[in-house]
Amino acid sequence: MKARREPAAAALLPSLQRWAVEAARDLYLTQKGAPPASHHPRASPRERVSVLASEALPEWVEGLSEASRVFRPSDAPPIESSPFATLRERLLTATAGYDVVGFDVFNTLVVRSVEGEWLKTAVARGFHARLKELLSPTRMPTAAQVRQRRFDLEMEIAGEQVAQGRDNEVDFEALVLRWAGTWVPVEPHRSRLAAELRALELELEKRALRPAPGIAEVLSALKAQGKRLIFVSDMYLSAPLLRELLRHCGLEQYFDAGYVSIDEGLRKASGRLFPRVLEREGLKPEQLFFVGDDENADNVQPRRLGITTLRVEDPDEKQRRRRLEAAQKAVERNPYWAAHYVDVVLSNEAHHVRGPEDDPNYQLGRTLAPGIVAFVVDVIERAEKLGIDHVYFLAREGLTLLKVFAILKDSGIFRRVPQAHYLFVSRASTILASMRELSWEEVHRFWRQYSRQSLRGLLKNLSLPQDEFIRLAAECGITDPDQPILEPTKDAAFMRFLASRRVRVAFHQRRDEARAALARYLEYRGMMGLERTALVDIGWKGSMQDNLMRAFEHDARFPELHGFYLAYVPDGQPQAKRSFKYGYLSDLRRRDLEEADFLRNTAIFEMITTANHGSTMRYGANPWAPHLPLPELLHHEQEKDNSARFFRRVQEGMYDYARDYARLSPLLRFTADELQPGTLQELLRYTRYPTDEEAREFLKYSHVESFGVHEVTTFGLKLDLRKLTQHGSVKGALKEAWKAFETNSWRDGVVKRSGLPLANLAYDAWFTWRAIR
């Protein structure tokens, strides 16, 4: 399947624009002696262009490769080649006079999702995770040291083989035994750990391998002609183990025999294994036809003996491997490229993610999915670090996150996964329970965000019965409950209302009822009585976490609360002693400019994760089980329409990405911390330099706000022509237009829709300059 992403050449322009702005910013900060803009790993412009160009210009690289063959010695025999697409027809014709056909294994019979050296790195990372369970922290090596130890042992064992007159191959059984013994030298623990390593390597090989395109049909056709088929491989895994891998790929039944360098002590690449194969098979060189991808080992060396060969040379497969190799080398040099490497592997091996021809809503889900998936990985890893056994995903964004969690939890890469729960809570259902008094200090907590409140709107936000409190307000002089309270501290009637003893008595009664109902619900969901737990949500300020802490801070049954957020924006209010918050992709307490840039479009992350079940308003009686509380939900028709038309498809894209990630993550083994910088950069491309289609599609969406303002937010540029004409001057009209632009939810999208060349570059430069000034 083709990669979802645009060709790298098409994606290079926004990347270069973004890097130009970042380079100018960093130069300015350096000259001023200011702290760097980002504390994350970075890649130099030269490194970035090199990596992307290796993917964007495969034809050039291929052309250079072909040109290099001009310089072969003139006596070198020409080597015939075939792509996978025509291999069957070529072989049926070319092997007409042969009874035995031999095949190379890797990149001929089977191909890998990752290159062999990275697979060894994945095994080393799995080994490192296992050592964490066996060793004390003082004896614990780093993952890099574990990987390096394998490399050193491979060199050591290969040297021993050469000293015995064999070729420089590595004995896998000796390798895993010595590798395990480096940190667990005592028997029988060493042998047990070695057996685990052996099993892990085979498991990851199976996960990485798949049959080469059309190869099963090739083998079947040759067997139908009565050919004897053998495989010959330079490999440190023995022939029985290779047979197991071929069996996993559905190819083992075609082969009559197999010869592997580690078993024979001889390699194809040295030219010494083929005479042994001929001897074992009882063949003369002209009786064997051999097929393989490697120019030297599979073609030059056997041809020197008189064996006819056909080279498998497939352009698509070479391009796929070239992208893998470039991304792998990049991440080995610089951890910044971890997320990019994941994207390359998954786009090459997409079993679930659909192609770029799918609808733009699905593609939006695929574009933003790396951030959501990496965040859920962080939730699992952070819960383990903090010793948290139960995590609660908060309605409504939390339902999408919970579904991603369910996909990832069985991927096999996590040492311990917490139990996950879904919590029907909202600001509306928790605000009343969280209040101490009906005072201006308490009301001001949300009045700061939603300043245009009327009495009726205030009562609705506080979930207080309107008839009862409007009647009490009338006694205090508030005659119009729908009139906006513009200056509450100067409004005598409103302040009398807050100070009224009758109002406060009624408030305490309703608050205690709301708090008791919320407590019953939390008890039912298993939260009460835990030592500590975590709440998971998109973000941004952690209001529901604050509300829960305020409601139950004096309840001994209530746990220590940790809030895990995709992004966290502190509101400047002091935190309770047993309340902690963490932002993954962005946390403004880190004072990182690039993390702050992530927040240029926060609405999109709320919309694409919102569950289609309505917002929790309060907790009522359950008619089927009266002893259990039942969340009462308010579901707007606009939300149902949004879900059906747009966000269901967006979420499908995210879930498909998560499935592919879960399937391949054991081969990648990146932590959430390693994924964070590259994932942030991928999403900054969307928020700062959207495509025309992404910017247009955003206009179709809308967001239903069910707390504070209770309105439907749309995302077009809201220009009031009547206001513009009333100013009577160009300057005034421009000022009014700029005000409308500044209040838009995604100004970068507005700039893109303007259609002006390089408009986003200019706006990004201006925005960045204003930020660093």
pLDDT of residue 204: 95
pLDDT of residue 726: 66
pLDDT of residue 634: 84
Rounded (10°) angle between helices 116-134 and 315-333? 40
Please indicate whether residue 382 or residue 23 has the higher confidence score (pLDDT): 382
Overall average pLDDT of the 83-105 stretch: 94
For residue 378, pLDDT beyond 90: yes
Tokens of 122: 């994945």
Tokens of 726: 């009333």
Closest CA to 331 of 690, 667, 686: 667
Q: How confident is the model at residue 11 (pLDDT cuts 50, 70, 90)?
A: low
Tokens of 483: 């009139």
Burial label, 76 (beta-carbon count in 10 A; 0-12, 13-18, 19+): exposed
Please indicate whether residue 762 or residue 55 has the higher confidence score (pLDDT): 762
pLDDT of residue 77: 61
Least confident residue range of 83-87, 233-237, 335-339, 615-619: 615-619
pLDDT of residue 49: 75
Q: What tens digit of pLDDT does each residue of 146-169 get?
A: 999 999 999 999 999 999 999 999
For residue 373, pLDDT beyond 80: yes
pLDDT of residue 711: 64
For residue 143, pLDDT beyond 90: yes
Overall average pLDDT of the 190-214 stretch: 95
The number of beta carbons lying within 10 Å of the beta carbon of residue 186 is: 7
Q: How confident is the model at residue 413 (pLDDT cuts 50, 70, 90)?
A: confident
pLDDT of residue 6: 46
Q: What tens digit of pLDDT does each residue of 379-412 get?
A: 999 999 999 999 999 998 999 999 999 999 988 8
Please indicate whether residue 738 or residue 183 has the higher confidence score (pLDDT): 183
Q: How confident is the model at residue 728 (pLDDT cuts 50, 70, 90)?
A: low
For residue 615, pLDDT beyond 90: no
DSSP H helices, 669-691, are 672-688
For residue 257, pLDDT beyond 90: yes
For residue 260, pLDDT beyond 60: yes
Q: Enumerate residues 6+ apart whose C-beta is below 8 A from 291.
A: 87, 91, 101, 102, 103, 104, 108, 298, 309, 310, 312
Least confident residue range of 53-67, 110-124, 222-236, 735-749: 53-67
Q: Enumerate residues 6+ apart whose C-beta is below 8 A from 118.
A: 324, 328, 667
CA distance 168 to 184: 27
pLDDT of residue 60: 45
Most confident listed range (66-70, 110-114, 470-474): 110-114
For residue 258, pLDDT beyond 90: yes
- How wide is the angle at C-alpha 637 spanned by C-alphas 634 and 639, nearest 5°? 80
Please indicate whether residue 192 or residue 640 has the higher confidence score (pLDDT): 192
Overall average pLDDT of the 721-747 stretch: 75
Q: What are phi and psi of 632, to 5 degrees?
A: -100, 125
pLDDT of residue 401: 96
CA distance 366 to 4: 8
The number of beta carbons lying within 10 Å of the beta carbon of residue 522 is: 25
Tokens of 604: 């999109």
Overall average pLDDT of the 209-226 stretch: 95
Mean residue pLDDT of the chain comes to: 88
Residue found under tokens 């302040």: 495
For residue 62, pLDDT beyond 80: no
Q: What tens digit of pLDDT does each residue of 414-450 get?
A: 889 999 999 999 888 998 999 888 888 888 777 776 6
pLDDT of residue 698: 87
- How wide is the angle at C-alpha 127 spanned by C-alphas 123 and 133, nearest 5°? 155
Q: How confident is the model at residue 10 (pLDDT cuts 50, 70, 90)?
A: low
Q: Where are the beta strands (DSSP E) in 426-547?
A: 532-537
pLDDT of residue 57: 59
Overall average pLDDT of the 607-624 stretch: 86
Overall average pLDDT of the 324-330 stretch: 90
Please indicate whether residue 125 or residue 14 has the higher confidence score (pLDDT): 125
Residue at 335: amino acid letter: P
Q: What tens digit of pLDDT does each residue of 645-660 get?
A: 888 999 999 999 999 9
Least confident residue range of 209-223, 224-238, 598-612: 598-612
Q: Where are the beta strands (DSSP E) in 142-279?
A: 209-211, 228-233, 257-260
Q: What percent of the chain has pLDDT over 70?
A: 92
Q: What tens digit of pLDDT does each residue of 748-757 get?
A: 988 999 889 8
Burial label, 467 (beta-carbon count in 10 A; 0-12, 13-18, 19+): exposed
Q: How confident is the model at residue 39 (pLDDT cuts 50, 70, 90)?
A: confident
Overall average pLDDT of the 476-502 stretch: 88
DSSP 700-733: T-EEEE-SSS-EEEE-S----HHHHHHT-SHHHH
Tokens of 109: 């019979």
**Does residue 396 have a cis bond before it (omega within 30 degrees)?**
yes
Q: What is the CA radius of gyration of the chain?
A: 32
Least confident residue range of 35-39, 62-66, 235-239, 245-249: 62-66
